[in-house]
Amino acid sequence: MPTLRTLLVVALALAATAASAQAPAAPAAENVILVMIDGLRWQEVFTGADERYLSKAIGKVEKPEPLLERWHRGTPEERREALMPFLWSVVVREGQLYGNRYKGSTVDITNGRGVSYPGYAEALCGVAEPVIKDNRHIVNPNPTVLEFLNQQEGFRGKAAAFGSWQTFRFIFRAETCGFPVDDGNGAFTAGAGSPELAVLNRVRTEVPYRWSGVAFDALTVNTAMEWMKVNRPRAVFLGMGETDEWAHEYDYTRYLEAAHLADAYLRRLWEFLQSDAQYAGRTTLMITCDHGRGDLFQKDRAWGDHGSGNPGSEHIWLAVVGPGTRPLGERTNTQPITQSQFASTLAAAAGLDFSTLQPRAGGPIRDCLPTPPAARP
C-alpha cells in the first residue's frame, strides 16, 4: 500500500507535468515586419510636438495658433498620444517601446555617422560597416537580415522590401539579394499584380517628385500593403521617408504631419495583419528609425539637422509587438540597446539565429522576445 509520502510525491509530479503542459514555449513569429521612419526624433515620439519649434524662425510656422490647438496638450503624455495615437495605444498596450532617455531607456546607433545609409545598414545587417560613411550609392558589402530570412526554410522566396528612397536598391543589394526591392521610384512590377497595383503604378509614374530620388510615403505604403495582400510575403521591410525630408527643410508643420501620417499607416498595416488568417497573431512588427537629429538649443535650427557634427543624431528608439513579446509597454531603466541588435532581434522573433550568417552582429534584445517557460515568473 503506498505511503502518504509516496502519494504526495506522485501528486506533485503530476501537478508539475500538468503545469508544464499548460505553459508551452511561446511560439516564434511566422511573419516578421520591420518598419523604419526616417529621421523621426525620439523627442517627438516620447513627448509629442515641441511648442518651442512652432514659430516662423525655427519651424517655418506662419500661424502657430492652429498648430498649438491641434498638437499642444498640457502634458508630454497627452502630446505624444495626439501625435502618434496608434503607437501609444495599441503598440504600448500590447508590446514594448524603448528609447525614452528621460526614463532611463536608451537606444543608440554605433556607426558614428548619424546619417541614413549607415543607419539602415547597421539596423539591417547588424554591423557598423566602416566603408559605408555617407549616402553615396555603393553596394552594401554585407547581406541584410531579409537576405538571410529569404534563404531559410519557410521564408524562401517570401521576402520583400519597400522604401521611398532610391538608395534602398544599394542597401538591399537589389541585383543579387534574391527578393523584390521597391525604391519608390517609378512603377513596381515584381510579383503578381492586381488592378489596384496597376492604378498605383500609373500614379507613381505620373506624380512629380519633390525630392530627388525620394517618393512620397503614400505611394510606397499603399503599394506595399496592396502587394502584401496579393503576394503574401513573410518577411517585409517598409521604409517611410517624409519625416526626414520635411525636417531637412526645417518645416516643423509638415514634419509633424508626416509623423502623424506614419502612425496612421502603422495602424492600417496592423489592422490588416490582424484581420488576415496568415498574419493574425503570427506576426512580429518592429518599428524604429535610422538616426536621430539635433536640438534647437545646440545651435540655430539644428533640430532639422543630423550627422556626426550634430549631437543627438546617435539617439533613436524602438517598438516591438507580436507573439511572444510581453506587453510591458513603455520601458524604463533598461539595459542600453544598440541599432546593431535589430537584425538579430528580427531573426530571433522568427526563431532563427542571425549570427550563423553574420557573427559580428549585435545579439538579440531578449526582453522583447519569447521567453522559455522555465524563465517565466
The pTM is what? 0.91
Q: What is the pLDDT of residue 52?
A: 86
Contacts of 203 (CB under 8 A, 6+ apart): 219
> Residue 345 class from Cβ within 10 Å (0-12 exposed, 13-18 middle, 19+ buried)?
buried
> Which one has a higher pLDDT value, 28 or 195?
195
pLDDT digits (tens, 9 = 90+) for 220-267: 999 999 999 999 999 999 999 999 999 999 999 999 999 999 999 999
Q: Are 304 and 293 in contact (CB under 8 A)?
A: yes
Tell me the residue type at 116.
Answer: S
Domains of the chain by start residue, with CATH:
27-375 (3.40.720.10)
The DSSP result for 96-124, as a single string, is EEE--GGGT--EE-SSS--SHHHHHHHHH
Average pLDDT over residues 143-166: 97
Judge contact between 288 and 120, C-beta under 8 A: no
pLDDT digit string, tens, across residues 38-65:
999 999 999 999 988 888 778 788 888 8
What pLDDT, on the 0 to 100 scale, is given for residue 59?
A: 79
Q: Which residues pair with 239 in a beta bridge?
A: 36
Cell of 127: 554591423
Distance separating alpha carbons of residues 109 and 43, to the nearest angstrom: 16
Q: What's the first-to-final CA gap in the chain, in angstroms?
A: 38
pLDDT for 266? 98
The residue among 3 and 56 whose pLDDT is bigger is: 56
Q: What is the pLDDT of residue 297?
A: 58
Question: Residue 213: is its pLDDT beyond 70?
Answer: yes
Quick check: 359 pLDDT over 80? Answer: yes
Indicate the burial class of 329 (C-beta count within 10 angstroms; 0-12, 13-18, 19 or more).
Answer: middle
Q: What is the mean pLDDT of residues 329-357?
A: 97
What percent of the chain has a predicted confidence (pLDDT) above 70?
89
- Report the pLDDT averaged over residues 312-324: 96
Band of pLDDT at residue 3, cut at 50, 70 and 90:
low
Cβ 97 vs Cβ 87: under 8 Å: yes
For range 102-122, the mean pLDDT: 98
